[in-house]
Structure 1
Amino acid sequence: MPPTPDPTPAALPPTLPAPAPGRTLLVLGHGSHLNADSARAVHAHARTLQGAGFDEVLTGFWKEEPSLRQVLRTARYREVTVLPAFISEGYFTEEVIPRELGLRHQGRVPDGGVTETVAGRTVHYLRPYGIHAAMTGVLLDRAREVCPTWTPERTALVVLGHGTRRNPRSKEAIEAAARRAGAAGLFAHAAALYLDEPPHATDWREHTGGLDVIMVPFFASEGWHTLDTMPAELGLPGPVSHLDGRAVSYARPVGTHPAVGSVLTRLVQEAPARPAPVDADHAAAWAALDTAAEGGLDVGELRVTPQPDGTFALHHAADAGTPGLTRVPLDDLAAWTGRDNQGEHRPIRTRRGLPRGWQARVPREHLRAALHAVYPAVTEEAHAWDAGKLLVTPWAETAARQSGRYRPVRRAPPETVQAARERLCAGCLRTPLWAGEPLAATFLSGGPGLPCAEACTLLVSDVAHLLEAPHP
């Protein structure tokens, strides 16, 4: 085991100039274990916000990497603004995200957001963008896309929400959007319907009479629900259907509309603006990566090789010496390596299956970003482990923190957790420190190791599924 963590941040190496102060913006989404499309809108929002006055913009997810538990460690600056890219307030924005980030605040976030100090960083946590009044305009834009010329007196608008019994406020943004759209006089009727609570979306016929219908999913992203489950449950064979003698139009989700970018920009620009120094531990991790990469470096299945022109080449280690590799630009690297060679989604990037047949060439100053794109957070976590500062969370603590549909894992017997470990962790490149497995040196200090400080959401989900499975 490493030495006891030193609470004093590591000093910057004397050879590095003092970096200029700045601000980090974290754009957080739900993500998915099953569908890469779920995270696409969050990445698009992050690209849009690159010019919003922040010195770096990063993403984090509940179901993918970097996880909500990891993401603060990846922030370069000590001043961090957190934007939950969610469509409504409720369970995730009021309970899950604050808890996973280490915020003390729980419950409704006030208009100006919440500011706390977490692990030496000043964190400004904002409200979700979906509650902004300007989202009504985005909703109407989506309706016009799928049905450009509707007749107001013969058309009903249905705003589709997810809904949850865990928090009644999750419906407020959807209901407000339907109310505002109805008040505009553009529809004969406007209703908010839900997947998981009444009034149910499957009862849309009862709520729209004999009117033509435009359905707009008030969802943050394209994904499993908007692409598969909702159209199937609603009986919609395509974007425009003719059912029971009337036209039914099904729009794309509001959260993927380009106009959302201006709403997000307004929200983050209203947040406190106080540039702060680079986090010392983060800078030291970056310097350690720079030093380790000088002689060539293997990180999991990835090989990093210095080039004569001062750049670094990245590719699958098994592709060393292979001609004709596809050149992938840095901006596309995360998406390219987020699927395996069979096209399957890789929500936990350190599971074996890094795709082959590609290469990236990056300058030294972009090496950390490139490695983060392939294996998020491994640089910061490896350096923290080598320095004796990585906090390891045992399974019992992770289980005790779960809520909602994952609450049952709190009572999972050891043999169930072990079965999940054997199924999932055996295929992962990380060493599960949380389960007591030893790790000597990481890839930054001459070894192959990638530390895993806490059970990932994929394992938590698998334990929950094993508990739900019928016993023979």
Structure 2
Amino acid sequence: MSIAPKPRSALLIVGHGSTQNPDSSAPYFEHAEQIRRRGLFAEVHCCFWKEEPSMREASYLFDSDEIYVVPDFISEGYFTQDVIPRELQLSGPTTVLRGKTFHYCLPVGVHPSMTDLILRRAKEVAPDADPAATTLIITGHGTGFNKNSTKAIHDQVALIAASGAGYAAVVAAFMEEAPFIADWDQLALTPNVVVVPFFISDGLHSYQDIPVLLGIETEIGPAASQREVFRHNPHSLRGKSLFYSSAIGTEPLIADVILDLIGDFDISHKITNEPVATIFPQSVEPLTSSQKLLHAIANGVHRIGEIEIGIVVSNDRLELNDQITKPTTETSDSNQRFSLCHAADVALRDANGAPGLTTYAGPGAAREIAAYAEDGTYRFLHAQRNLRRGWLLCLDTVEDLRLALDQFYPACVGLWLAQQDASLEVEHLRDKLQRQSGMYQRVRSLSNEALQELVPLTCSSAVPCARHLLWQVDADTPLLPSAASHRRGLPDDVPAAAAIPLLCREACNHWVAECLAAAKAAKSATPVSQ
């Protein structure tokens, strides 16, 4: 299905993400970029459960008043029916919130094309295996929180078994519920076994957990990208030939699936192509966030976190040898081009030819630059003060600049602009913890004293984060003085008026994970009553 352009609407792709592996979020950004290039929406962004920007920060990414939300998840289950609606504050298929209309679409994994994608992936990984002598195993996570979490996989098993694909058997298996993927050789009676992970991304599960459960690996390895696990098929294990594929969601055609789901939503809910738009007289039409950013730069803003913003003085397309200057009120043309570099590399940037700096172009490169620190550590929190040096990013428009900054410091420009116009909503820690569910609901039991102790440990020591904490324990309980609570999200070497502050409107999900660990430790330390 092809959908008509929606120039007044935006698309939000929601993913799971990971604090341990950047490949977990890679497909979501790829799907977003594919759709962005087609020019169908005014804006296209991603948000995550485990990464930044969080779902509660997502609305600060958008100017559009109408936003289509597509869960880039594999099933209708715990996350799509409980977590995402809760975090985005959605009350049904269409929700109006703070002047914006959100349309909540079905998850990617329930689309009919998933069957063909699974069969294609199975054929790619085992092209010479006779289907009649092969068992196809579709594997997923499994969870006790929502029975629908496994329904999509069971549905695919039934569809493929009835499709005439010719496999001797098609079975479902899971990591955390029966039938278990660790028992794959007992589930398959054939000499050949093909395992296709029914996940959106190749991350922690498909690189590490499942290979160990299958016996391909003997222990969980490092968290970085491990695509080698897919390059040694077949594996001779337990008397069988085992073929292991990458996750189904890495297929480029998922972008088309996302668009189909939006088209299906419009048909099902009788949504017209053009939303009812607010009409402003030409003189009072509000500025877009990119225009506000441009205005701020023209008035001297040139720093955000560890990044220096430069304006390129050139009448042509940005080139490496163009002169780069600090922003001034004389450089406010909407056709300006921009550069970004590490603040410690400004002297190299300004030298002829930018010696020692690797040049990148376009906002997509920002994610690559920001992913790892100098020592190879994955920067799952982007406000950590360990951004690597040695790069120069060239950007042709202020819109590209905004996209790049949202990769370096997710949603921070939008949070800052919202703070300026007094529309920024802060959520205190106790409110954040009280809405947690599933295995995280035990964090509600932590005392205020325990939470106060976690602030400097989580925000300063374990993962040094530069954001300004706007939240308290609750509305009546401010944070105790500490290095974390005293931060203002601003660099020390430039005036405050010259920098965009890094703001923290609520505790991140890494914080919640640390609370869970503390709650478990507290329970373990509690003596059992005799």
Structures share a fold, TM > 0.5?
A: yes
User: How far, CA to CA, are the matches of 1:22 and 1:303 in structure 2?
Assistant: 32
The verdict on how the C-alpha distance between 1:462 and 1:314 changes in structure 2, with shifts beyond 3 A counting, is: same
3-state SS of paired residue (2:8): coil
* 1:388 matches 2:388: no
1:66-101 superposed Cα distances (whole Å, 9 cap, x missing partner) = 111111221121111011100111011011111111
1:340 Cα shift?
1.4
What amino acid does structure 2 have at the position aligned with 1:287? Q
Residue 297 of structure 1 corresponds to 302
1:444 Cα shift?
8.4
411-420 vs 116-125, which moves further: 411-420
1:243 Cα shift?
2.3
* 1:33 matches 2:70: no
**Contact 1:21/1:276 (8 A) holds in 2:** no
User: How far, CA to CA, are the matches of 1:38 and 1:339 in structure 2?
Assistant: 14
* 1:453 matches 2:505: yes
Number of matched pairs? 445
Residue 259 of structure 2 corresponds to 265
Matches within 5 A, 1:279-290: 283=287, 285-290=289-294
**Contact 2:68/2:104 (8 A) holds in 1:** yes
User: How far, CA to CA, are the matches of 1:40 and 1:298 in structure 2?
Assistant: 27
Query: Could you tell me which of 465, 470, 485 is aligned with 1:433?
Result: 470
Residue 274 of structure 2 corresponds to 274
**Contact 1:33/1:63 (8 A) holds in 2:** yes
1:343-396 superposed Cα distances (whole Å, 9 cap, x missing partner) = 222222112111211111223423222221211111111122222221111111
**Contact 1:386/1:445 (8 A) holds in 2:** no
User: How far, CA to CA, are the matches of 2:286 and 2:195 in structure 1?
Assistant: 46
User: How far, CA to CA, are the matches of 1:72 and 1:302 in structure 2?
Assistant: 24
3-state SS of paired residue (2:24): helix
**Contact 2:466/2:487 (8 A) holds in 1:** no
Residue 392 of structure 2 corresponds to 359
Matches within 5 A, 1:157-196: 157-185=136-164, 186-196=166-176
User: How far, CA to CA, are the matches of 1:243 and 1:370 in structure 2?
Assistant: 45
Query: Could you tell me which of 65, 76, 79 is aligned with 2:63?
Result: 76
Percent identity between matched residues is 33
The verdict on how the C-alpha distance between 1:151 and 1:424 changes in structure 2, with shifts beyond 3 A counting, is: same
* 1:242 matches 2:227: no
Higher relative contact order (CA 8 A, sep 6+): 1
Query: Could you tell me which of 313, 335, 351 is aligned with 1:308?
Result: 313
3-state SS of paired residue (1:434): coil
274-283 vs 204-213, which moves further: 274-283
Residue 53 of structure 2 corresponds to 66
User: How far, CA to CA, are the matches of 1:448 and 1:371 in structure 2?
Assistant: 11
* 1:120 matches 2:99: yes
Residue 86 of structure 1 corresponds to 73
The verdict on how the C-alpha distance between 1:90 and 1:22 changes in structure 2, with shifts beyond 3 A counting, is: same
**Contact 1:439/1:451 (8 A) holds in 2:** no
* 1:142 matches 2:168: no
* 1:132 matches 2:111: yes
What amino acid does structure 1 have at the position aligned with 2:81? E
TM-score, normalised with respect to structure 2: 0.79
The verdict on how the C-alpha distance between 1:27 and 1:158 changes in structure 2, with shifts beyond 3 A counting, is: same
Residue 357 of structure 2 corresponds to 325
**Contact 2:197/2:246 (8 A) holds in 1:** yes
1:451 Cα shift?
2.0
The verdict on how the C-alpha distance between 1:441 and 1:61 changes in structure 2, with shifts beyond 3 A counting, is: closer
Residue 411 of structure 1 corresponds to 445
TM-score, normalised with respect to structure 1: 0.88
What amino acid does structure 2 have at the position aligned with 1:378? C
The verdict on how the C-alpha distance between 1:236 and 1:281 changes in structure 2, with shifts beyond 3 A counting, is: farther
Query: Could you tell me which of 408, 411, 421 is aligned with 1:377?
Result: 411
Residue 223 of structure 2 corresponds to none
**Contact 1:289/1:444 (8 A) holds in 2:** no
User: How far, CA to CA, are the matches of 1:401 and 1:61 in structure 2?
Assistant: 17
User: How far, CA to CA, are the matches of 1:118 and 1:199 in structure 2?
Assistant: 42
Structure 1 unaligned residues grouped into runs of 5+ = 1-19, 106-113
1:276 Cα shift?
5.8
The verdict on how the C-alpha distance between 1:313 and 1:352 changes in structure 2, with shifts beyond 3 A counting, is: same
* 1:103 matches 2:103: no
3-state SS of paired residue (2:156): helix
User: How far, CA to CA, are the matches of 2:152 and 2:488 in structure 1?
Assistant: 50
3-state SS of paired residue (2:347): coil
The verdict on how the C-alpha distance between 1:170 and 1:399 changes in structure 2, with shifts beyond 3 A counting, is: same
3-state SS of paired residue (2:235): strand
User: How far, CA to CA, are the matches of 2:496 and 2:65 in structure 1?
Assistant: 23
User: How far, CA to CA, are the matches of 1:69 and 1:445 in structure 2?
Assistant: 27
121-130 vs 252-261, which moves further: 252-261
Residue 10 of structure 1 corresponds to none
User: How far, CA to CA, are the matches of 2:187 and 2:393 in structure 1?
Assistant: 53
1:414 Cα shift?
2.7
What amino acid does structure 1 have at the position aligned with 2:503? P
1:212-271 superposed Cα distances (whole Å, 9 cap, x missing partner) = 211111111100110111111111255321223321111111111223333223222334
User: How far, CA to CA, are the matches of 2:256 and 2:397 in structure 1?
Assistant: 33
Matches within 5 A, 1:146-157: 146-157=125-136
3-state SS of paired residue (2:86): helix
User: How far, CA to CA, are the matches of 2:171 and 2:375 in structure 1?
Assistant: 42
* 1:336 matches 2:369: yes
281-290 vs 265-274, which moves further: 281-290
User: How far, CA to CA, are the matches of 1:277 and 1:137 in structure 2?
Assistant: 39
What amino acid does structure 2 have at the position aligned with 1:311? R
**Contact 1:285/1:380 (8 A) holds in 2:** yes
User: How far, CA to CA, are the matches of 2:508 and 2:289 in structure 1?
Assistant: 22
1:280-316 superposed Cα distances (whole Å, 9 cap, x missing partner) = 9984643332122122411111111223233222111
Structure 2 unaligned residues grouped into runs of 5+ = 1-5, 218-231, 267-272, 315-335, 349-354, 473-477, 479-484
What amino acid does structure 2 have at the position aligned with 1:408? R
User: How far, CA to CA, are the matches of 1:313 and 1:75 in structure 2?
Assistant: 23
1:445 Cα shift?
4.8
